[in-house]
Amino acid sequence: MGCSSSTQKTSKGEDGHNRATNQNSNLNEGQSEHREIERRPQSRNDDDTRIVRDDGGGDANTYEDNDDNEYYGFDGPQANPPPKPSPPPAYESREQTPPREPTPPPREATPPSREPTPPPREPTPPPREPTPPPREPTPPPRETTPLPEARFPTPEPYPEHFENDDEDDTPFDDDGVRDAEGYSSNAMGLLEKTTDFRLEHAKDDVETRPYGDPHSLFVDHEFPLEIAIVQDNHDIEWKRPKDFLDNPALFTEGTTRFDIGQGSAGTCWFLSTVANIADNERILGQIIPDGSYRVEDSNAYDGIFHARFFRFGKWEDVYIDDFLPVIYGNVLWGAKSATEERELWVALLEKAFARLYGSYDAIYGGQPGDAYLLLTGGIGERIELDDHAEKPKAIYNRIRNALHAGCHVSCVVPDEFDDYCGLVGGHAYSLVGVAQVGSDKLIRVRNPWGHGEWKGPWSDGSKEWASIPENTVTAPNKDDGEFFVSLDDFLTYFSQTTICSLTPDFDRYGSSDSLNHILNVYGEWSGQTAAGFHKLLQNPRFCFTVSDKGRVEEGFVPLVVQLIQQSEKRRTDNISIRCDIFRVLGDKIGAKTRCMALEIQGKKNNVYAPELQSTFRHKLKPGPYVVVPSTVDEGQEKAFLLRLFTSAPLQNIRPIPQDVDIVSCEFEDSFAADGAVHELTFERTLFGEFVADKNAGGQVSYQESYHLNPQYQIKIPNKGKEVPLVVHIMQTYKEPQYPVGFRLFKMDHDVQLPVDIAYLYNNYQDSPTDVEGSQSKFMISWDVDIRFMLPPGRYIGVVHLDKPNTEKGFAIVFKSTQLLKIRGFQTS
């Protein structure tokens, strides 16, 4: 957050309170079929194929057969077939001259006397929409340039699988050796494990204390005044403390939030966080270690100050000389101690932070959560107060709980309220306490300037304090930068608050949860993996396994992902980033290829942000997952760090090579139909491949080959009512992207699969309709989905592409509320 510059003294303190996203299609006899191919925005997302997941549902046992992808359960009685659907409405098109309505094929079992004329051999799909999937409300334009060539060697592919194309029950354990958990205690007492998958490892230059002694004090020639302060440095001098102070000291009587006084540098975002941790001896000792400044020992004084900051996942040592910016001969220009003139820890820490980023100018303005990360290695959550204005009690309770649990809280006044009742717009404050007087809920706030307070209700000396009961809250009456404001005024005049803790507050009750295991994963966007939003799944992908050890009472495992981009210049080199989690639905290992089916997790509110760090919460079931960090634009090359916070160790972390084929679908665990919400507890995932001259039959007008397409037998049990069926057809995530179609047919008792073209033509018009009233779906998308409410019985699902002999890999997912029997034919 930006800060107003001021030469005024800055102070910040605490008194101890903060222990705290159709159509009916019929075939026209004697006429070419013209079918509109719908284009969906891109998702974010073999003969014998097998399923690796079953998430329950139904009341019958199933087992797997090696022949044609068959799954068995108990059949319910065969219900009478539903009535034939009404004739479809006239074909509508966005074209100025719509084609004639196709009519169904002849009812005879023999081929019609007048064979349908095939459509043009090169049906041109509609232009690709530049809009993104629903998960991204602010999309970038679709890139049409090819991927850049990889600059680095391609990672080794997974080992070949030599056992009849089976799917792997432990999909990330190809070598038979599971990762050792390998977590160990870090400087803050948390359990941590680090893995680095960068191909170009950044050199970890270890800084050592430079040379200096009492007779030759250290001078940092790379950080003189003209570099440290670029703008308006004419009246500033560079002086050592002993040249303008008597008896300078690093600390005088310990440290408190009241020590912090902001000077002319716009570092309120940083100093407000320093104030919040000033009382925490362990954290401050990590930042300013013992022996960091020896000004009080004449025999050891060397003119050096040592500080440490947590940058890009590691504690980085910074050594500076003790020249400080001074005005008027003896007044510190920058931060200073607001309690003791000769105390230097605040001024030196601000200079060390400026040295880390190159100048004082470089650290003007920022987010308190970023400061907390740099000072502690912890995690912060920014809460936009406008989004919670209707829930004032919940906000108050969360702040109260956070302070009580020892979390650190800051808040910001937006520019529009600058100079309103003493507030400073674009300025970060510390939030240091709460109080309740009768029915009035109060928030205690501190200005890091050390003065400049709220002048409205409940301000120092206001009339509200005159009527409070005795022995409740001590009425403030001192211009020390600390003041009370009512909860209503806080929600009105402050725009955001940031709650920071060493581990995440997953449940948002205000206190950090027991997510004390941190898995650090270093990676990079480089060459082909700098794929951007429109090629999301070509970005770096890392798989891991969630065990059931961290399961909470609600049955899920909490996971918080913090994505940090490497940033050397703070404001000028940050790019828009985000991170997605996918559940592994299936993992098929072939002799030469591998394909993984994924389902994206979380709500459709994941957006890109040009922030140093972004945080994402997930509630996961135990099992295998894939995490995919991405940038908004293609070709943005940079290193990143993923930090995964859990309550138990994650297992089997490893990258997924780019030669592994990926298919993905949107998250769906329920859907609404017939006035009810149906929970989808059954799931089956099967893999397939369209192969030229075998099963790539094209769309229905190709009567010589349509019946050769993959066919799936689906048996709906008799539960006394219609049963939901959701189908996702996912093509492999590599260009070109093809139109994909799906149609459901009723299956007679005496019919065996695969059925011939006569059966499909004769039953074409009687195809069941989906919940939107369409008999088929045909569109260009990585993930084509269709939903039905079906009476009991047997059905045939046909998957097809547009033209015959088009080759493409795919996976198909069936979901329902009941256990289904599914068998695939001609799947590769």
In this structure, are residues 589 and 168 in contact, taking their beta carbons and an 8 Å threshold? yes
Question: Dmax over Cα atoms in the chain, in whole Å?
Answer: 110
In this structure, are residues 620 and 581 in contact, taking their beta carbons and an 8 Å threshold? yes
**Tokens 């993905």, residue?**
664
225 φ, ψ (degrees, to nearest 5): -55, -45
Catalytic residue from among 3, 28, 45, 268: 268
- Residue 201 CB partners (closer than 8 Å, separation 6+): none
Burial of 341 by CB count in 10 Å (0-12 exposed, 13-18 middle, 19+ buried)? middle
Check residue 705 and report its DSSP letter. T
Alpha helices in 56-191 (DSSP H): none
Range list of β-strands (E), 450-576: 482-486, 496-501, 517-525, 542-546, 557-565
306 counts as catalytic: no
Alpha carbon 776 to chain centroid, angstroms: 34
202 vs 524: CA distance, rounded Å: 11
Residue 551 amino acid letter: R
Alpha helices in 636-690 (DSSP H): none
645 φ, ψ (degrees, to nearest 5): -95, 125
- Tokens at 318, concatenated: 């910074």
In this structure, are residues 595 and 811 in contact, taking their beta carbons and an 8 Å threshold? yes
Catalytic residue from among 306, 408, 427, 678: 427
573 vs 301: CA distance, rounded Å: 38
17 counts as catalytic: no
Residue 110 amino acid letter: T
Check residue 167 and report its DSSP letter. B
SS3 for 697?
A: coil
Catalytic residue from among 28, 276, 447, 520: 447
Range list of β-strands (E), 747-792: 776-780, 783-790
In this structure, are residues 288 and 320 in contact, taking their beta carbons and an 8 Å threshold? no
In this structure, are residues 818 and 717 in contact, taking their beta carbons and an 8 Å threshold? yes
728 counts as catalytic: no
Alpha carbon 143 to chain centroid, angstroms: 22
In this structure, are residues 580 and 606 in contact, taking their beta carbons and an 8 Å threshold? yes
Q: Across the strands, what pairs with 578?
A: 630
DSSP 169-216: SSTT-TTS-PPP---EE-TTS-EEEEEE--SSPPP-----PPP-BTTB
Residue 290 amino acid letter: D
225 vs 325: CA distance, rounded Å: 8
SS3 for 680?
A: coil
Catalytic residues: 268, 427, 447
